[in-house]
Amino acid sequence: MQALYKKLIHSQSRLWGTMLTNRYEVAILGSGIGGSMLACILAKQGVSTLLLEGASHPRFTIGESLIPETGLRLRIVADKYGVPEIGWIGTFHKLRNHVSSNCGVKRSFGFMYHRAGEENRPEEINQFGTLAPPVGPDSHLFRQDTDAFLAALSVKYGATFHAQTRISEIKFGDDEVELRADSGQRYHAKLLIDASGMRSMVSDQLGMRDEVPRFRTDTRAIYTHMMGVRSADLLLDSRSRRRLISPLGQATMHHVFDGGWMWVIPFSNHRDATNPLTSVGLMLDRRRHPEPQGTPELEFRRIISAYPTIARHFAEANAARPWIRSGRIQYSSPHLIAPRLIQLPHAAAFIDPLYSSGMSVLIVAVDLIAEALLKAVADDDYAIERFQFVEDVVNRGFDHYDAIVSGAFDSFASYDTWNAWNRNWVMGSLLGTFGPLSLWMRYHKTKDRSYLQKTTEPSRMGVLGSHLPGVVEVVQASRADMDAAIAGEITHAEASERIFARFRDVEFLPPYMGFGDPKKTATATFTLIPGARHVTWYRLHGDATYRENCTFPLLTYARDGAAFVLGEARQAWRRGFSALRDVFFADNGDWHHTAPALAAHRDLATPIRAIAPFADELAEFDRTESPRSAASSTGVG
What is the DSSP annotation of 278-343? EEEEEEEETTTS-S--SSHHHHHHHHHTTSHHHHHHTTT-EESS--EE-S---B--S-SEETTEEE
- pLDDT value at residue 460: 85
Residue 416 neighbours by CB under 8 Å, 6+ apart: 492, 493, 496, 518
Contact 255, 351 (CB under 8 A): no
Question: How far apart, in Å, are the Cα atoms of 615 and each of 311, 604, 621, 622, 625?
Answer: 64, 14, 10, 10, 15
**Partners of 180 in the beta sheet?**
169, 186
> What DSSP state is assigned to residue 267?
S
Answer yes or no: is 591 within a domain: yes
Q: Which pLDDT belongs to residue 412? A: 97
Classify residue 455: in a domain, yes or no: no
Alpha helices, DSSP H, located in 487-523: 492-505
pLDDT for residue 22: 87
| Single-letter residue type at 407 | G
Count of structural domains, the chain: 2
- Amino acid 600: pLDDT: 42
Contact 437, 552 (CB under 8 A): yes
Residue 258 per-residue DSSP state: T
Last residue of a domain, one of 308, 325, 342: 325
Domain annotation covers residue 459: no
Count of Cβ atoms closer than 10 Å to residue 427 Cβ: 26
* Size (the chain), residues: 637
Instruction: Quickly count: other Cβ atoms within 10 Å of residue 504's Cβ.
Output: 12
DSSP 251: E
Distance CA 427, CA 515 (A): 8
Q: For residue 279, is it within any domain?
A: yes
User: Per the domain annotation, does 509 fall within a domain?
Assistant: no
- Within a domain: 256: yes
Half-sphere exposure of residue 523: CA atoms within 13 angstroms, side-chain side: 24
Position 463 in a domain? no
DSSP 425-469: HHHHHHHHHHHHHHHHHHHHHH--THHHHGGGSGGG--STTTT-H
Half-sphere exposure of 267 (CA within 13 A, CB side): 23
Dihedral pair phi/psi, residue 609, rounded to 5°: -55, -25
Q: Which residues of 381-392 are buried (b: 16+ CB within 10 A; e: fewer)?
A: ebeeebbebbbe
Number of helices (H), then strands (E), in the chain: 23, 18
- Cβ atoms 99, 243 nearer than 8 A: no
405, 352 contact by CB (below 8 A): yes
Element housing 178 (H / E): strand 177-181
Spatial distance between the Cα atoms of 539 and 551, rounded to a whole number of angstroms: 6
69 is a domain residue: no
The low-confidence residues of the chain, meaning pLDDT below 50, are 1-17, 595-637
CA distance 218 to 338: 27
**Which uninterrupted H or E stretch holds 188?**
strand 186-194
Spatial separation of the C-alpha atoms in residues 104 and 96, rounded to whole Å: 8
**Full domain range(s) for residue 314:** 219-325
**Of 267, 302, 325, which residue constitutes the final position of a domain?**
325
Q: How many Å apart are CA 122 and CA 138, to the nearest integer?
A: 25
Phi, then psi, of 182 in degrees rounded to 5: -55, -30
Residues 6+ apart with CB under 8 A from 270: 92, 96, 104, 105, 250
Q: What are phi and psi of 368, to 5 degrees?
A: -65, -45
| Contacts (Cβ under 8 Å, ≥6 apart) of 40 | 83, 85, 86, 150, 153, 154, 157, 159
**CA 575, 577, 582, 583 torsion-angle sign:** positive
Using left for φ > 0, alpha for ψ between -120 and 50, and beta otherwise, residue 465 falls in left
Cβ pair 610, 15 in contact under 8 A? yes
Last residue of a domain, one of 302, 325, 348: 325
**pLDDT value at residue 593:** 67
Predicted local distance difference test score (pLDDT) of residue 13: 42
Rounded Cα distance between 29 and 507, Å, is 45
266 in Cβ contact with 231 (< 8 Å): yes
How far apart are alpha carbons 71 and 214 in whole angstroms? 29
Do 474 and 442 meet the contact criterion of CB atoms below 8 Å apart? Answer: no
Q: How far apart are CA 461 and CA 396, in angstroms?
A: 10
CATH of the domain at 256: 3.30.9.100
